[in-house]
Structure 1
């Protein structure tokens, strides 16, 4: 069996297949197309395209934050592991995940919160930064509360927590706030790989 081994050719062919099978992508602005194609490429699922919801200012605000050398806060290390380190370094962007910090674990035990909730609270005002939540609905619920209460003002929230308990609801809450630009995937689908793919799509721009 013959198969393609050139990474560039594989990606180019993959994107062509995506465009052929999801013609509705042509209706989106070019940069939003890039994000949705990355998500489809990551999941291998054409049907996820209509579930992707992108705030009108999301791309602009995200790119501006990256060019400023913002900090990217992630809820879990799996998101962190999926980010393109070469691009992060190129733009002077620091990516952080504190889920495994002993102080986070201690605070979670003391308060009865999840560690993901504690990491959001400990992140501070997040002024002009990008928050990427790919796993924990409790992190997104907490961040939404911080935004609503004026305690946090990130440049962009990428919220794609996955699962059957709270994931869909947390993303609905993010969209309903309409106080910060967001990129999300509606419903129960999501995950760390999708969250990382969205960040990388922005970095590649």
Structure 2
């Protein structure tokens, strides 16, 4: 079950407005939760058509979180956005071995969370590429990869590589993304939807 939390009336009203403006009824439950929370976070309805995932993959990630498997994030901003679940972030103070800081942090985190973790990339495409490299070698076996890096250089390409990898994943087709979006996706898996099943706008 989704974690119980107090929903502020402003958040509930925001979701009602969202559902009056954007049709998400065609989406299966977990996909709908993720898409709506990202739209709620960004005020950008284009995310509904941009996201790529499956219910099976999201269910595996949610089950890992319920089982308190490790949650690994690439940057502190993603960690800050996930306030009710401790996460691993091993971003070094400087780049090492020719890697970006984000990629180096992923390599370090892999030593702690090789099996069954949820991995969340919300900043650098290089971090996602490094995670994919580690998975290809068998060093990391994730329950779910949330791959939502942002930028004009390599972001869309790294997400395409994630989709081609066959790993359980959540990604999007475009170059947009970021820490807030990545955190929103995880929060959707943790909390579900703030609107009750009986809400007339559902």
* TM value normalised by structure 2: 0.86
> More deviation in 59-68 or 33-42?
59-68
Task: Determine helix, strand or coil for the equivalent of 1:12.
Answer: helix
The answer to whether residue 115 in structure 2 is matched with residue 123 in structure 1 is no
Report the equivalent of 2:197.
none
Report the equivalent of 2:169.
182
Question: Contact 1:172–1:186 at 8 Å: present in 2 too?
Answer: yes
2:152 pairs with one of 160, 164, 175: 164
Report the equivalent of 2:62.
63
Report the equivalent of 1:9.
9
Question: Contact 1:51–1:186 at 8 Å: present in 2 too?
Answer: yes
Per the TM alignment, residue 193 of structure 1 is displaced from its structure 2 partner at its CA by 0.1
Per the TM alignment, residue 159 of structure 1 is displaced from its structure 2 partner at its CA by 0.7
Per the TM alignment, residue 46 of structure 1 is displaced from its structure 2 partner at its CA by 1.1
Q: What are the residue-to-residue correspondences of 1:91-130 with 2, within 5 Å?
A: 94-99=86-91, 101-102=92-93, 105=94, 108-109=95-96, 111-124=97-110, 126-130=114-118
Report the equivalent of 1:133.
121
Cα separation, 1, equivalents of 2:145 and 2:161: 12
Question: Contact 1:134–1:161 at 8 Å: present in 2 too?
Answer: yes
Deviations 1:63-98 (A, max 9, x none): 11112111111110000011122xx2xxxxx31111
List alignment gaps of at least 5 residues for structure 2.
Answer: 1-6, 193-202
> More deviation in 154-163 or 55-64?
55-64
Deviations 1:1-57 (A, max 9, x none): xxxxxx62211221122212221x111112211110000011111122100111342
Cα separation, 1, equivalents of 2:150 and 2:116: 25
Aligned pairs, number: 185
> More deviation in 54-63 or 191-200?
54-63
Question: Contact 1:56–1:181 at 8 Å: present in 2 too?
Answer: no
> More deviation in 123-132 or 165-174?
123-132
List alignment gaps of at least 5 residues for structure 1.
Answer: 1-6, 89-93
Report the equivalent of 1:91.
none
Per the TM alignment, residue 141 of structure 1 is displaced from its structure 2 partner at its CA by 0.6
Per the TM alignment, residue 149 of structure 1 is displaced from its structure 2 partner at its CA by 2.1
The answer to whether residue 147 in structure 2 is matched with residue 155 in structure 1 is no
